[in-house]
Chain A
Amino acid sequence: MSALRLEEVWFGYDDTPVLKGVSLEIAGGEAVALVGRNGAGKTTLTKLVVALLQPRSGMVRTGGRITEGKAPEDVARLVAYVFQHPDQQLFARTVWSEVAFGPQQQGLSRDETRGIVGDALEQVGLEAHAEVHPYVLPAAQRKLVTLAAAIAQRPRVLVLDEPTQGLDHAGVDRVAGIIGSLTGDDVAVLAVTHDLAFVAEALERAIVLEDGRVAYDGASRELMLDERKAHELGLEVPPAAALSAALDLTGRPVKVRDVVEVLRVGG
């Protein structure tokens, strides 16, 4: 049973179609990037996944449940969504209560909640700031708070919208690490992102949306090593992959770490 499945989904605001017959399937444990030009339909697709929107035709099945007729709160146990701008989401008085909101809505006991929240805060590195007001934290850390809140929902599917925007190296590494451990726990991760360098490091599969349709669905590294195709789809090959191709490195690595390794050994 797939974690996320879309079948011939059509959607449009008013008369203009934004998604034109999109089909895709993601299994638990997969880390998938959703990329494409602005306006291609990426954010719309994520809203359909969490039932903030309903498809005009076609089917969306999130965490095994069809979203038709459902509201976002009905699928909150199955899918968690981290919005692009944390300030659209933050509302509690402390980081702790912000992160605890999800588990509380799920009716978990105080002890269970405490364990889950502590765990989530540790994963994002904010245990020390548990009693702080979220708005006091710098923007990058506010972003990590919303990520912790989503992790605390313990969903089957995690949807991230531009997870690395505004983060520094350390922040990006942390997010990559979290995705790795989540997929290790069989969670399906879908990340809308423009950051192809991040895709290379953390998301092994890429789905490219172009003008409302799926233009590519396959290994992200294949896309990165094909400069012509990437350009066609409005994407930019990240520097590590470009170097790998230019120097014709053995095994054509795309991750920074791997490129360095191969170069040290001798190409």
Chain B
Amino acid sequence: MIVGYVAGKGPLHEAHPFTGLVLAGTVVILAVALPAPQGPAALAVALTALALLAGLPRVLLTALSFSMPVWFFLGVIHGVIGDAPLRALTVGAQIAAILIAFLLVLATVHPARLVDALLQRGVPFSLAYLLAGALQAVPRLRRQAADIVNAQRCRGLRVRGSVWRRVRAIVPLAIPLVLGVLGEVDERAMTLDARGVAAPAHRTALKPPPDSIPQRIVRWLLTAAAAALIVWRIAG
């Protein structure tokens, strides 16, 4: 399961962080606005190809494991109600496309690069850092959850066996996990202060991500396409 940054060398890794973000945003719009069901289906296929091209087949597995329960649910609903199966296919494809896009962004955009890119554009450091922190929240929570679960297993907590048992086991951990992370955020904020974050100077970007004309063009095109699509759907 991959949720969070993974080091690598594919085209998405090399790309400017904004390109990835624009891509994700565009996918959401395309998924919703493209004519169903061919649109979302084609989008899902295109993103699968992109994931493979970016050297991240494991992202597909993760997207699959998150989507499966939703697809199962959809199948049941449409089966029971007898609604058009095409509708189920559409929603399924939309979910898959959006999931893959977001997981790809999480996996290929490193928080530090994103912050550097935002700083280059003049975004205040505190805002940029907040965004970077959000990107890291999920992997950090996962690691901490794993630590606590291990500790409780040593006290006899049973985690193998039925899914229900596993869920019941994790629930009591939710609160301390959040408390722990929040407490950490507090202490981290304090130490950040001590590391010059309040300095009036404009932060030096250590490795500003290189941008290129082709990427800029791609971003403009994607944004334009998304905007045009919205207008077309509203008008028609």
Contact = CB atoms under 8 A, between A and B. Distances in A.
B138 interface: no
B156 interface: yes
B156 A76 contact: yes
Contacts of B176: 90-92, 135
B153 interface: yes
Interface residues of A, number: 25
Contacts of B179: 135
Given A90-B176, A91-B172, A83 B151 contact: yes
Interface string A55-72: 000000000000000011
B151 A80 contact: no
A92 B172 contact: yes
A181 interface: no
Contacts of A149: 155
Interface in B151-182: 151-160, 172-173, 175-176, 179-180
Contacts of A71: 153, 160
Contacts of B183: 135
A155 B178 CA distance: 31
A105 B157 contact: yes
B147 interface: yes
Nearest to A134: B176
B154 A81 contact: yes
A73 B151 contact: no
Nearest to B152: A91
A208 to B, nearest CB: 25
A101 B147 contact: no
A101 B172 CA distance: 12
- By secondary structure, the B interface counts as helix
A91 B151 CA distance: 10
A244 interface: no
* Chain B contact patch, size range: 20 to 34
A256 to B, nearest CB: 33
B148 interface: yes
A71 B147 CA distance: 15
Contacts of B158: 73, 105
B38 interface: no
A101 B149 CA distance: 13
A50 B152 contact: no
Contacts of B153: 52, 71-73, 76
Interface string A69-98: 001110011011101000111111100000
A76 B147 contact: no
Contacts of B156: 73, 76-77, 101-102, 105-106, 153
Contacts of B65: none
A166 to B, nearest CB: 15
Nearest to B177: A91
Given A71-B160, A87-B180, A89-B148, A76 B173 contact: no
A175 to B, nearest CB: 19
B126 interface: no
A29 B105 CA distance: 56
B191 interface: no
Interface in A124-168: 135, 149, 153
Contact of B155 (A52, A76, A93): A76
B215 interface: no
A83 B158 CA distance: 19
25 contacts: A52-B150, A52-B154, A73-B153, A73-B154, A73-B157, A73-B159, A76-B155, A80-B155, A81-B154, A87-B180, A89-B148, A90-B176, A91-B148, A91-B175, A91-B176, A92-B176, A93-B175, A101-B152, A102-B156, A105-B155, A106-B156, A135-B179, A149-B155, A153-B155, A153-B156
The 10 closest A-B pairs by CB, nearest first: A105-B156, A76-B156, A89-B151, A72-B153, A91-B176, A81-B154, A102-B155, A72-B154, A88-B147, A73-B153
Interface of A: 50, 52, 71-73, 76-77, 79-81, 83, 87-93, 101-102, 105-106, 135, 149, 153
